[in-house]
Structure 1
């Protein structure tokens, strides 16, 4: 079993990438990214969750 993150959440605010978070559950990761942006006072940030590239 692999412990590598399977999803990546990119937080963008006014065209700038603020942060990139990684995790294993898409819904939890999206909620975490929105909380992170709100705590930094980026209240209208855009969060995009995508699957990570896996190489085998």
Structure 2
């Protein structure tokens, strides 16, 4: 049988593991959850930039 004290401790323990958004930085939830560009997207952008630079050198 679970005692009320144990149950209260368990609820607090679970809630302590939930990260809380700091009010100090002032970011909205949408900004906080913004997706970081994938590595493939970054590599592709770098490739396109280098490709453009090489085309300019050839001309």
Q: TM-score, normalised by structure 1?
A: 0.30
- TM-score, normalised to structure 2, is 0.28
Larger radius of gyration: 2
More helix by share: 2
